[in-house]
Amino acid sequence: MADSAYERIAAAVDTPMVIVTARAGDDIDGCLVGFSTQCSIEPTRYLVCLSKQNRTYEVARNATSLVVHMLHDDPVGMWLARLFGEVSAFDTDKLGMCAWEEGPESTPVIAGCDWFAGPIRNRVDLGDHVGYSLDVTAGNKESSRAPYLGYAAVRDLDAGNRA
């Protein structure tokens, strides 16, 4: 599908990049995600797609909820994108390299990000990714209203795991 109409159109869309964190028992992890979107207005639901090649996917398979972090388009947001996008959790404790606290269901909430969370309602196999539909039930009290980091800013990162 080289140079298809879809690829040209998709390359022009600057989709938001998010970090998703998961907890299953004592096992925690997080990863950079480029495939996510609101998928229902009432009730409020959000779809996150995790690569099956990613350690966060392994944790999320047994998790009951997820936290979605919006990255700011600033040096901290870019540093977090590099950490959670280029470093593999199979080799490194990424959460050990940044500040975070326990959020809903003790799932990590990364410092300096706007975030929302919710229980996993559905899991859907989507090919090389699995979609997790969340009932959005929690989030940080105030949004910073700062611009968020998009795909254009991270397109040249070297992925820690193949998608």
Q: Which H/E stretch holds residue 123?
A: strand 114-125
Q: What does R_g of the chain's alpha carbons equal in angstroms?
A: 15
Q: Which residues contact 43 (CB under 8 A, 6 or more apart)?
A: 135
Query: Which DSSP symbol is given to 5?
Result: H
Locate 59 and state its tokens.
Answer: 């944790």
Q: Which amino acid is at 67?
A: V
Give the pTM: 0.90
Stated as kind and residue range, the H or E segment containing 37 is strand 36-40
Mind listing the domains of the chain with CATH numbers?
A: 17-138 (2.30.110.10)
Instruction: Give the per-residue pLDDT at 150.
Output: 83
Predicted pLDDT of residue 59: 97
pLDDT at 111: 94
Residue 131 corresponds to which amino acid?
A: G
Residue from 151, 123, 153 nearest 49 by CA: 123
Mean pLDDT, contiguous 10-residue spans, the chain (163 residues): 76 89 97 94 96 95 97 93 89 93 96 95 97 94 78 74 58
